[in-house]
């Protein structure tokens, strides 16, 4: 009986702790070195000082709770740096199911960080079935594509790819010997219209990517932080800077 009471008490305390953390982290955070008027100017200056920037950043969240405001900041900082593709992954797909929350937080973050420049960037939340979005001929608008992923995307992609290749072989459009890794890789990329991520940020205490599309990360630089909660611009900058300082030998 005493053990049951103690376990219930511990469970209540842990639940209260998670609740309080969510409440606290939902309040706007001060941007230490970034004021509303100077944020975009500061980020652009930092971007120019880097040796190289990734074209595609993957964010893998291996935590049980999600801060949509902090994920939104990561996305908008990436936008301000000039990164064109961003993927956000959690194994159960909770972020994807709550994409409207993330999109709302991205809009708030754009207003705070990009300020008067926010209309120069179109953040498009991409799904596999969505068509290519046009900018209406306005060439000065930068389009950034955000992809939300879960474990099912990896499994389902492989199932669909197998079915597609089987049909091509059955229709004598492909020979079995034509199905090589480079062919499969090209077909997988064509399904999402996304390049492989240059940089993958793993957020959380678990030393695993938990099934994040393994065929995409053969050449990715993988960097880790303990949590995405309350991530600061300084931390994000240090990660992108570390990527810029990395010499990729591609197996040599």
Distance between CA 94 and CA 88 in Å, rounded? 11
Mean of pLDDT values over 166-181: 80
- The three-class DSSP label of residue 58 is strand
pLDDT of amino acid 24:
44
Q: What angle do CA 212, 64, 23 make, to 5 degrees?
A: 135
Name the pairing type of β-strands 121-126 and 85-89.
unpaired
List, in order, residues 6 or more apart from 87 with CB less than 8 Å away.
Answer: 56, 57, 58, 59, 146, 147, 148, 149, 194, 197
Least confident among 26-30, 111-115, 145-149? 26-30
Angstrom CA distances, 127 to 124, 132, 157, 194, 232, stand at 9, 10, 13, 11, 28
Bigger pLDDT: 217 vs 176: 217
* Measured distance CA(142)–CA(110) in Å, rounded: 13
For residues 229 and 250, what is the distance between their CA atoms, to the nearest angstrom? 32
Give 13-21's long-range contacts (Cβ < 8 A, gap of 24+). Answer: 18/65, 21/65, 21/229
Contact 68, 105 (CB under 8 A): yes
pTM, to two decimals? 0.75
Spatial neighbors of 153 by CB under 8 A, at least 6 apart, are 128, 213
CA–CA dist 40, 35 (Å, integer): 9
> Greater confidence, 95 or 169?
95
Q: Categorize the per-residue pLDDT at 248 as very low, low, confident or very high, splitting at 50, 70 and 90.
A: low
Alpha carbons 146 and 84: distance in angstroms, whole number: 9
Domains defined along the chain, listed by start: 45-129+140-149+196-244 (3.40.1180.10)
């Amino acid at each position: 009986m005493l053990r049951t009471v103690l376990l219930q008490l511990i469970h209540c305390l842990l639940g209260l702790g998670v609740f309080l953390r969510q409440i606290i982290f939902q309040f706007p955070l001060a941007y230490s070195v970034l004021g509303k008027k100077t944020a975009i100017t500061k980020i652009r200056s930092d971007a120019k000082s880097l040796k190289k920037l990734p074209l595609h950043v993957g964010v893998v969240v291996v935590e049980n709770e999600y801060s949509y405001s902090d994920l939104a900041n990561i996305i908008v900082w990436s936008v301000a740096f000039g990164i064109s593709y961003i993927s956000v992954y959690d194994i159960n797909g909770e972020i994807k199911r709550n994409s409207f929350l993330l999109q709302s937080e991205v809009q708030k973050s754009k207003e705070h960080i990009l300020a008067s420049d926010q209309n120069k960037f179109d953040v498009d939340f991409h799904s596999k079935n969505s068509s290519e979005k046009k900018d209406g001929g306005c060439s000065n608008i930068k389009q950034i594509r955000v992809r939300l992923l879960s474990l099912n995307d990896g499994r389902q992609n492989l199932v669909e790819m197998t079915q597609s290749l089987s049909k091509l072989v059955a229709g004598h459009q492909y020979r079995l010997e034509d199905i090589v890794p480079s062919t499969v890789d090209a077909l997988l990329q064509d399904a999402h219209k996304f390049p492989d991520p240059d940089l993958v940020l793993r957020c959380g205490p678990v030393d695993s990517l938990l099934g994040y599309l393994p065929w995409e990360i053969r050449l990715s630089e993988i960097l880790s932080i303990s949590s995405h909660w309350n991530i600061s611009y300084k931390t994000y900058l240090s990660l992108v800077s570390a990527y810029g300082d990395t010499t990729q030998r591609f197996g040599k």
